[in-house]
Amino acid sequence: MVKEPKIVIVGCGVVGAVIAYELSGQLAANIVVVDQHRPAQGATGAALGVLMGVISSKVKGRTWRLREASIRRYSSLIAELTAQGYTVPFNPQGIVSLCFDEAQLLRWKMLQVKRQAQGWPLEIWPTEMIQKRCPQVDIQNTQEAQMTAVKAAIYSPADGQVHPTELTHAFIQAAAARGVTFCWQTKVTQLTMQAQHCTGMQTSQGYLAADWVVVAAGLGSAAITQIAHEPLALMPVLGQAMEIQLPAALGDENFQPVINGNDIHLVPLGKGRYWLGATVEFPPETWAAGDILAAEAEGLIRLKKGAEQFISAIAQAEIVKTWSGLRPRPVGQPAPVIKPLDNTDNITLATGHYRNGVLLAPATAQQICQQLREQGVKEKTSEKYRWCQPKDS
Ligand SMILES: Cc1cc2nc3c(=O)[nH]c(=O)nc-3n(C[C@H](O)[C@H](O)[C@H](O)COP(=O)(O)OP(=O)(O)OC[C@H]3O[C@@H](n4cnc5c(N)ncnc54)[C@H](O)[C@@H]3O)c2cc1C
């Protein structure tokens, strides 16, 4: 019998987890996932899980293709996980993005036309429609200048929101059920190279051999790729967010889309609970790899005040908890980085997802599967499937 190749995935945030799930469903391989901590404790643990696909301003090129592929895959992925018995909180009620500027409205209208041609629905709502569908939105904030008045909204019913940590755990359990091995508290300290070929890696738990390596270690990917001629450069961009509690759901409790205004997301969680986020805080120019980044002291106050400008009821909310996380932003190349590591023949990068890692994780996994297939990893022929065939077929 031919030995299956061993694929080691370094990092188990949402990206590493979905890659493990998709690879184990499609390719004949012995798959091992290692993480220096427990799963979903990097950027994924801080994310809000907003899936801004159709509503994004990207209309062509790689960025749009990745977003579109992910939005398509999400609906089938959630159904697949649910059918396997995993519960993943998923909000399919879309995203409403508020428009405060007439000039921006023209761009939204052009986007709507483009999306219609691409087969995706997008609705432009006048203020009357916003008041009808989302009465929690204050069209004209009386305390602020005319500038903060809501002029219109764009509604994308095909986008949504998913709980990033619970999604990651569901992928892990489903992949483990397909035979994937997970090693926690296992930090990869160095890849072992023979010329351009990686034979394995040194870890905090000993040596681990590999035929293929997928680096999905978020911000940790930069240190791992130091063996390359051109190592990956990543910059941390801090985000702060909070969970708030209101006495009851805002607006219509049966229609609770994500509401976005001025880049602030209000994410409904049910029973009057919401996530609010996130700030975008770049490191100072003097930042060097390894430096600790402090969150801006006023960041959360500005975030809440910003949301109150379009939903004044948020002023009454109790803050239940706050947190921050670091987004992995590539330096010198667009996000995300999904390609073989320079000058190596069996290491591939699936990292640098910056602000959209939850959204782009499924499309990333599709690309990694495709790359490994093209490099000769065979399709899985499922024993289970064969056994399930009717005997006389
Ligand atoms: C506040 C905030 C809000 C966000 N909201 C959204 C959102 O609404 N929608 C969206 O799509 N995205 C959002 N993002 C971005 C998203 O969180 C990231 O793009 C995504 O989580 C990246 O996932 P990842 O798996 O690549 O990285 P991570 O989640 O950081 O996972 C990397 C893993 O690699 C492990 N690792 C690192 N180095 C090593 C090593 N040497 N050895 C072993 N393991 C290692 C880490 O322990 C970690 O578990 C948000 C981010 C933040 C901070």
Query: What is the rounded distance in angstroms from the CA atom of residue 173 to the CA atom of residue 88?
Result: 12
pLDDT at 143: 54
pLDDT at 1: 63
Average pLDDT score over residue span 42-63 = 97
- If you take atom 21 of ligand 1, which residue's CA is the nearest one? 44
pLDDT at 102: 86
**Which of 35, 165, 189, 323 for a ligand 1 pocket mutation test, highest count of atoms within 8 Å of Cβ?**
35
Average pLDDT score over residue span 133-138 = 97
- What is the distance in A from the centroid of ligand 1 to the CA of 12? 9
3-state secondary structure of 307: helix
- Indicate if ligand 1 lies below 6 Å from the C-beta of 16: yes
Tell me what the pLDDT averaged over the chain comes to: 94
**Nearest CA-CA partner of 50 in 357, 301, 286:** 357
Give the DSSP per-residue string, 314-368.
GGGPEEEEEEEEEEEEESSSPSPEEEE-TT-SSEEEEE--GGGHHHHHHHHHHHH
3-state secondary structure of 31: strand
- Indicate if ligand 1 lies below 6 Å from the C-beta of 220: yes
More confident residue, 137 or 389: 137
pLDDT surpassing 60 at residue 83:
yes
3-state secondary structure of 91: strand
- What is the distance in A from the centroid of ligand 1 to the CA of 358? 8
For 16-44, how does the pLDDT look when each residue is reduced to its tens digit (9 = 90+)?
999 999 999 999 999 999 999 999 999 99
- Residue 39 one-letter amino acid: P
- If you take atom 3 of ligand 1, which residue's CA is the nearest one? 47
Half-sphere exposure for 374 (CA within 13 Å, toward CB):
10
The CATH number given to 1-91+160-233+331-393 is 3.50.50.60
- What is the distance in A from the centroid of ligand 1 to the CA of 13? 5
Residue 154 · residue 124 · CB < 8 Å: yes
Kindly give the interhelix angle for 164-177 and 61-83, rounded to the nearest 10 degrees: 60
Average pLDDT score over residue span 307-334 = 97
Average pLDDT score over residue span 56-82 = 96
- Give the residues across from 345 on adjacent strands: none
| 1-91+160-233+331-393 and 95-157+234-327, same CATH topology | no
pLDDT surpassing 60 at residue 363:
yes
Query: What is the rounded distance in angstroms from the CA atom of residue 32 to the CA atom of residue 41?
Result: 18
pLDDT at 229: 79
Query: What is the rounded distance in angstroms from the CA atom of residue 236 to the CA atom of residue 293?
Result: 8
Atom nearest to 240 CA in ligand 1: 1
- Indicate if ligand 1 lies below 6 Å from the C-beta of 239: yes
Confidence band, pLDDT 50/70/90 cuts, at residue 177: very high
- Indicate if ligand 1 lies below 6 Å from the C-beta of 214: no
Confidence band, pLDDT 50/70/90 cuts, at residue 227: confident
For 95-157+234-327, CATH number out of 3.30.9.10, 3.40.50.970, 2.40.50.200, 3.40.50.1100 equals: 3.30.9.10
- Indicate if ligand 1 lies below 6 Å from the C-beta of 13: yes
pLDDT at 346: 97
- What is the distance in A from the centroid of ligand 1 to the CA of 37? 13
- If you take atom 51 of ligand 1, which residue's CA is the nearest one? 47
Atom nearest to 39 CA in ligand 1: 49
**Nearest CA-CA partner of 125 in 114, 109, 111, 141:** 109
pLDDT at 140: 77
- What is the distance in A from the centroid of ligand 1 to the CA of 316? 32
What spatial distance separates the first Cα and last Cα of the chain, rounded to whole Å? 26
- Percent of the chain scored above 90 by pLDDT? 89
- What is the distance in A from the centroid of ligand 1 to the CA of 152? 33
Q: What is the DSSP letter of 272?
A: T
Question: How many angstroms separate the Cα of 392 from the Cα of each of 162, 196, 247, 389?
Answer: 43, 50, 61, 8
Question: How many angstroms separate the Cα of 214 from the Cα of each of 9, 13, 90, 98, 162?
Answer: 5, 13, 27, 39, 24
- Percent of the chain scored above 70 by pLDDT? 94
pLDDT at 367: 98
- Indicate if ligand 1 lies below 6 Å from the C-beta of 359: yes
- Residue 204 one-letter amino acid: S
pLDDT at 141: 64
- Domain boundaries of the chain, sorted by first residue: 1-91+160-233+331-393, 95-157+234-327
- What is the torsional sign of CA 137, 143, 145, 146? positive
- What is the distance in A from the centroid of ligand 1 to the CA of 343? 26
- Indicate if ligand 1 lies below 6 Å from the C-beta of 278: yes
Atom nearest to 355 CA in ligand 1: 15
- If you take atom 4 of ligand 1, which residue's CA is the nearest one? 47
- Indicate if ligand 1 lies below 6 Å from the C-beta of 202: no
For 364-379, how does the pLDDT look when each residue is reduced to its tens digit (9 = 90+)?
999 999 999 999 999 9
- Indicate if ligand 1 lies below 6 Å from the C-beta of 187: yes
Confidence band, pLDDT 50/70/90 cuts, at residue 113: very high
Half-sphere exposure for 341 (CA within 13 Å, toward CB):
31
Confidence band, pLDDT 50/70/90 cuts, at residue 386: very low
Q: What is the DSSP letter of 218?
A: G
- What is the distance in A from the centroid of ligand 1 to the CA of 166? 14
Query: What is the rounded distance in angstroms from the CA atom of residue 261 to the CA atom of residue 311?
Result: 10
- Residue 153 one-letter amino acid: A
- Indicate if ligand 1 lies below 6 Å from the C-beta of 299: no
- Indicate if ligand 1 lies below 6 Å from the C-beta of 268: no
- Indicate if ligand 1 lies below 6 Å from the C-beta of 24: no
- What is the torsional sign of CA 78, 177, 217, 295? positive
More confident residue, 104 or 363: 363
Residue 233 · residue 331 · CB < 8 Å: yes
pLDDT surpassing 70 at residue 389:
no
Least confident of 252-256, 324-328, 389-393: 389-393
For 267-305, how does the pLDDT look when each residue is reduced to its tens digit (9 = 90+)?
999 999 999 999 999 999 899 888 889 999 999 999 999
Half-sphere exposure for 95 (CA within 13 Å, toward CB):
23
Residue 52 · residue 68 · CB < 8 Å: no
Q: What is the DSSP letter of 248?
A: S
pLDDT surpassing 50 at residue 391:
no
Give the DSSP per-residue string, 114-168.
HHHHHT---EEE-HHHHHHH-TTS-SS-TTS-GGG---EEEEETT-EEE-HHHHH
Atom nearest to 168 CA in ligand 1: 25
